[in-house]
């Protein structure tokens, strides 16, 4: 049967048999000590033909990788070899290889091979390896994606990340190398400031640390139901109580919620807690942290600075939530801005809610969102989400208007901040006036280019206040809120030993990588995102 009547798999398996007949394993081992292709290329990038022939005739390299291109001219074969760090051309001749030259017809693109030879340049000036010894290492039974003219279908790319990295090299691989650089930079920033990296449980007996719906599981030996953690927060603050004044953790968390370009059911979070600090201190540290990670990234991959529509130049914008609402309404809904500015709007908050619910152009689900607000603080947060948050990119820009700027949205209402410290009464009065109808907290969220990246606040350290808030969460659960937290009695006990004034911070690492590398979807920065099973 001719090759044209056999499947690709059959043809390639027959070639693997030819390898075996020639004394090679189809799936070999122990290639010996290798030279990275990037190292070879860097060593000779400035050497011309004469220099290589004169000074490096005795230099020999052992390289290995995947064949990604082959061109046969008869007595010469030119092949392109790729390893994890680069690509180089192989110059293969019958004169140098002898009997092994005949084995080249049994090679396919995608095969893994090892080549030994000296550096040279072709007539076209391309740095190459003149191969004197070639050894096949691993047979590829499937054509590599470049033979299908690339791999562009999005779900296939995510499902077969290995094929995506082959077909879309180096762009895909660079994103994940960039991710590693960013995470190393984050760790280095904390380590240099005497923070201790810790690990806290990912299997937890109750829901806590964030308002989110958890994944449930069961431990057979202990016969107990458990949750995959939605946040490490409450355990990290236990360590603050225990005397670790600066702690951080970079790890996975799980939230049983929707999937979008910014949400994956499992993701990587950075949380840190710092005793004797406030949320104002953390805003400055956040600027330093993100700028440090970006500098480390651009030192290796300057291409990621190209075409940025945002600026990380410091200082970043700081705006109170109620002021963000005012700014947005004045620009886009002056009639509603007048209602908001009456001063009594939040004192008669239900009437104000009715005015906004009747606003022209409001979607049905947005009206329902407003209808469910049961306190003036909840109304403030709802108005912020509906009228201001989506316009931060437009409303806060560089002086010349060419780029958006990072925005710290500060002072979240107490009603939507179950773990944040309330503003001290004197500060609340000084900043908002006496008898203001909403209690605010020392909390901020960071937005860059419209993406929420971080959430932080001065921590609540009063055990009685915290217990009351946990009880309020249970009431919310009874009302149908499946994201409400449990009452964590042990955490209350920990606070009862005394926790120093503390500030805490959480950052979505995946979103930071998306931002700094210019990726549109979280699935582009997660190696193996969750997908429905193949049918």
Q: Please give the Cα distance from 328 to 380 (Å, whole number).
A: 13
What the block records as the tokens of 359 is 């606003």
Q: Which fold has domain 3-143?
A: OB fold (Dihydrolipoamide Acetyltransferase, E2P) (2.40.50)
Domain ranges in the chain are: 3-143, 151-309+498-535, 316-448
Question: CA torsion 99→104→105→108, rounded to 10°?
Answer: 160
Long-range contacts of 480-485 (CB under 8 A, 24+ apart): 481/211, 482/213, 483/211, 483/212, 483/213, 484/207, 484/211, 485/206, 485/207, 485/208, 485/209, 485/210, 485/211, 485/418
Averaged pLDDT, 396-405: 97
At 435, is the pLDDT very low, low, confident or very high (cuts 50, 70, 90)?
confident
CB 233 within 8 A of CB 251: no
CB 526 within 8 A of CB 510: yes
Mind listing the pLDDT tens digit for each residue in 17-30?
A: 999 999 999 998 88
Give first-to-last CA distance, the chain, whole Å: 33
| Full-model pTM | 0.91
C-alpha distance from residue 64 to each of 131, 162, 171, 380, 389 (Å) = 12, 18, 21, 61, 51
Averaged pLDDT, 206-233: 92
Q: Please give the Cα distance from 253 to 441 (Å, whole number).
A: 25
Q: Considering only CA atoms, which of 46, 43, 90 is closest in space to residue 68?
A: 90
Phi, psi of 460 (to 5 degrees): -75, 125
Lowest mean pLDDT among 120-124, 130-134, 334-338, 507-511: 334-338
As separate numbers, helices (DSSP H) first and strands (DSSP E) second, the chain gives 19, 16
CATH number of 151-309+498-535: 3.30.930.10
CB 446 within 8 A of CB 452: yes
Burial class (CB in 10 A: 0-12, 13-18, 19+), 124: exposed
C-alpha distance from residue 23 to each of 94, 98, 137 (Å) = 19, 15, 12
Residue of higher predicted confidence among 223 and 434: 223
Q: In what order do the strands lie in the sheet with 502-508?
A: 196-197, 246-254, 266-275, 502-508, 451-458, 443-448, 407-410, 317-320
Helix, coil or strand: residue 338: helix
DSSP string for 416-474: G-TTBPBPPHHHHHHHH-TT-SS-BBSEEEEEETTEEEEEEEEBP--HHHHHHHHHHHH
**Helix intervals (H) in 81-202:** 94-97, 154-159, 161-167, 171-191
Mind listing the pLDDT tens digit for each residue in 287-321?
A: 999 999 999 999 999 999 999 999 999 999 999 99
At 343, is the pLDDT very low, low, confident or very high (cuts 50, 70, 90)?
low
Q: What is the pLDDT of residue 485?
A: 87
- In the DSSP assignment, the letter for residue 385 is I
**Does 149 score more than 70 pLDDT?**
no
- β-bridge mates for residue 49, sequence order: none
Asked if the peptide bond before residue 315 counts as cis, ω within 30 degrees of 0, the response is yes
Averaged pLDDT, 90-119: 95
- β-bridge mates for residue 204, sequence order: 227
What the block records as the tokens of 83 is 């390893």
CA atoms in the 13 A half-sphere facing the CB of 523? 15
Averaged pLDDT, 246-264: 92
Q: What is the pLDDT of residue 339?
A: 79
Residue of higher predicted confidence among 224 and 345: 224
Residue of higher predicted confidence among 207 and 494: 494
Query: In 209-326, where do the E strands start and end?
Result: 215-219, 224-228, 246-254, 266-275, 317-320
If you search the block for the tokens 């989110």, which residue do you land on? 212
At 147, is the pLDDT very low, low, confident or very high (cuts 50, 70, 90)?
very low
* Count of C-beta atoms within a 10 Å radius of residue 494: 21
Strand 203-204 relative to strand 224-228: parallel, antiparallel, unpaired?
A: antiparallel
Helix 509-517 / helix 171-191 crossing angle, nearest 10 deg: 120
DSSP string for 48-63: -HHHHHHHSTT--EEE
If you search the block for the tokens 């030996």, which residue do you land on? 221
Residue of higher predicted confidence among 304 and 263: 304
Q: Considering only CA atoms, which of 89, 189, 191, 81 is closest in space to residue 130?
A: 89
């Amino acid at each position: 049967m001719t090759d044209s009547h056999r499947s690709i798999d059959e043809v390639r398996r027959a070639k693997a048999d030819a390898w075996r007949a020639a004394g090679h394993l189809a799936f070999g081992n122990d290639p010996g000590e290798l030279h990275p292709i990037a190292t070879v290329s860097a060593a000779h990038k400035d050497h011309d033909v004469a220099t290589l022939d004169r000074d490096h005739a005795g230099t020999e390299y052992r390289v290995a990788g995947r064949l990604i291109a082959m061109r046969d001219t008869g007595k010469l074969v030119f092949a392109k070899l790729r390893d994890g760090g680069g690509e180089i051309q192989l110059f293969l001749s019958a004169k140098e290889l002898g009997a092994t030259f005949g084995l080249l017809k049994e090679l396919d693109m995608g095969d893994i091979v090892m080549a030994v030879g000296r550096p040279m340049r072709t007539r076209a000036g391309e740095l190459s390896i003149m191969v004197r010894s070639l050894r096949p290492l691993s047979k590829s039974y499937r054509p590599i994606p470049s033979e299908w003219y690339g791999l562009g279908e999005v779900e296939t790319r995510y499902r077969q990340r290995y094929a995506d990295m082959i077909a879309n090299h180096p762009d895909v691989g660079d994103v994940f190398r960039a991710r590693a650089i960013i995470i190393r930079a984050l760790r280095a920033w904390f380590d240099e400031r005497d923070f201790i990296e810790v690990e806290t449980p990912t299997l937890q007996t109750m829901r806590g640390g964030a308002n989110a719906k958890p994944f449930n599981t069961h431990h057979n030996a202990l016969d107990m139901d458990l949750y995959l953690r939605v946040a490490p927060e409450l355990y990290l603050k236990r360590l603050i109580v225990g005397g670790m004044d600066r702690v951080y953790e970079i790890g996975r968390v799980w939230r049983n919620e929707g999937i979008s370009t910014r949400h994956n059911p499992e993701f990587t979070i950075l949380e840190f807690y710092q005793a004797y600090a406030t949320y104002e201190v953390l805003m400055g540290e956040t600027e330093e942290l993100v700028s440090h990670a970006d500098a480390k990234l651009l030192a290796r991959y300057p291409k990621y600075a190209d075409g940025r529509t945002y600026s990380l130049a410091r200082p970043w914008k700081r705006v109170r939530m109620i002021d963000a609402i005012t700014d947005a309404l004045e620009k886009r809904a002056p009639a509603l801005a007048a209602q908001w500015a009456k001063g009594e709007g939040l004192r008669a908050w239900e009437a104000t809610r009715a005015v906004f619910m009747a606003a022209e152009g409001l979607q049905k689900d947005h009206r329902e969102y407003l209808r469910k607000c049961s306190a003036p603080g909840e109304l403030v947060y709802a108005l912020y989400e509906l009228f201001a948050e989506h316009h931060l990119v437009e409303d806060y820009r560089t002086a010349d208007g060419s780029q958006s700027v990072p925005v710290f949205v500060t002072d979240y209402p107490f009603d939507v901040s179950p773990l944040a410290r309330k503003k001290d009464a004197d500060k609340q009065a000084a900043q908002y006036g006496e008898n203001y109808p909403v209690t605010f907290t020392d909390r901020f969220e960071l937005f860059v280019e419209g993406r929420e990246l971080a959430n932080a606040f001065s921590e609540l350290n009063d055990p009685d206040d915290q217990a009351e808030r946990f009880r309020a969460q249970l009431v919310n659960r009874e009302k149908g809120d499946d994201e409400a937290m449990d009452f964590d009695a042990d955490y209350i006990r920990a606070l009862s030993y005394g926790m120093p004034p503390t500030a805490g911070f959480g950052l979505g690492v995946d979103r930071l990588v998306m931002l700094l590398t210019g990726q549109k979807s979280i699935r582009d920065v997660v190696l193996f995102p969750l997908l429905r099973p193949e049918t």
